Amino acid sequence: MNTSESGDVYEVSLLLDRADGGLSGYIMNITAKGCEVTAVDFPQWAALKDWNNNVAKAVDLKDDVRPGATNVPLVTLRVRALNREAALEISVRIDDDSGKITFEKISIPIKAETTATSTATTPQPTTQPTTPTTPSTSRTTTETWEPPPLVIRTTPSPTSPTIHTPTAPRSQIDMWQVVLWVVVGVAFFSLAYLLTKYILSR
């Protein structure tokens, strides 16, 4: 039987699967449901770090995480489960060295310690035994579930929106076409008049 009881504390490690553009830093918002975060450990590359109101921030000031790095540790959380529905909801913003921003959302169920108990008893015979009966024995085995490191997989950012250049309304276009034709007509007739006058004068 799976149980979640107060006092069950687990470590949850978050990793970035790859940092193609390096890593400038991140901001991670953590919502604890049926559990609480009791401690936070940051990796060595996080020269500037902060933990406040379930928000973790880290900045790679020394450029330790180079482009192409894989399985980059982000943070390790110690979580205490308070009930059967214990889970973490995490949203993280990741900035690389070029300024590219990636957003990820993940959910982590927290599973408490699993305990199995079995009891074996030697049956009593109907007649008086000639030898003492074997006493009852009880065996308790405990299996502790540790959540595996969670890998945050980056996804390409959405394509840039298409920028549409505004165009003039149809009515304005028609008006300018009429004006253009009037100007061309006046110029044509003026040229014809001058040419005719020149020919007649000779």
What pLDDT digit, counting tens, does each position of 103-145 carry? 999 999 987 554 333 334 444 555 555 555 444 444 443 444 4
Residue 89 has pLDDT above 90, yes or no: yes
Residue 184 has pLDDT above 90, yes or no: no
Q: What is the 3-state secondary structure (H, E, C) of the chain?
A: CECCCCCEEEEEEEEEEEECCCCCEEEEEEEEECEEEEEEECCCCCCEEEEECCEEEEECCCCCCCCCEEEEEEEEEEEEECCCCCEEEEEEEEECCCCCEEEEEEEEECCCCEEEEEEECCCCCCCCCCCCCCCCEEEEEEECCCCCCEEECCCCCCCCCCCCCCCCCHHHHHHHHHHHHHHHHHHHHHHHHHHHHHHHHC
Per-residue pLDDT band for 169 (boundaries 50, 70, 90) equals low
Residue 8: per-residue pLDDT: 79
Max mean pLDDT range (81-95, 98-112, 136-150, 180-194)? 81-95
Residue 90: per-residue pLDDT: 96
Residue 116: per-residue pLDDT: 36
Per-residue pLDDT band for 201 (boundaries 50, 70, 90) equals confident
For residue range 23-70, what is the model confidence (pLDDT) as tens digits? 999 999 999 999 999 999 999 999 999 999 999 999 999 999 999 999
Residue 37: per-residue pLDDT: 95
Per-residue pLDDT band for 190 (boundaries 50, 70, 90) equals confident
Residue 100 has pLDDT above 80, yes or no: yes
Max mean pLDDT range (4-18, 87-101, 139-153)? 87-101
pTM (2 decimals)?
0.55
Residue 165: per-residue pLDDT: 39
